[in-house]
Amino acid sequence: MTQFKSHRLRQGRHSGINQIYLITTVTHLRKPLFNDFTIGRIVVSTMKHLHDSRRVSSLAFIVMPDHIHWLIQLKNEGLDKIMHAFKGVSAKQINQYLNIEGKCWQASYHDHAVRKEEDLPNIARYIVANPLRAGLVKKVGDYPLWDAVWV
């Protein structure tokens, strides 16, 4: 059943150059890997590498204990290729750090193509406020694994 649902998520997926996406992806079996700050920093470092190499423009992100939200603008590659690179590199580094083998990420991800009329700064604020809504911190600045170009 899960495999079928993952396939259905990909049906009709089309990514365009310069399109902005809000991505959500979760860890394998929703394991709270990112409660370990070092593992969370591995994920942030992978995002930063994709941004610095100009494969995407990273506009905002939050690394929660068992999932991430990432607002990106594509450059010259499709979303599937970017997510494959992100998950592959981060999983390899996480497994090396933990000295284990196995899955780190759920196979699929959710994407929302941001329409031009949507308010990007408000989307970024929504993303970085996730730890507040989850009751993990009392103010955004107390949570260490986030960034946004507007906030």
User: Per residue in 43-53, pLDDT tens?
Assistant: 999 999 999 99
CATH code of the domain made up of 2-134: 3.30.70.1290
63 contacts 146 by C-beta, under 8 angstroms: yes
Distances (CA, A) of 62 to 9, 17, 114, 130: 22, 23, 17, 8
- What is this structure's pTM? 0.89
Kindly state the tokens that stand for 120: 């990007």
Tokens of 139: 């103010």
Above 80 in pLDDT, residue 6? no
Domain ranges of the chain: 2-134
State pLDDT tens for residues 90-102. 999 999 999 999 9
What radius of gyration, in Å, describes the C-alpha atoms of the chain?
15
Provide the angle, in degrees to the nearest 10, between the axes of the packed helices 79-98 and 37-52: 140
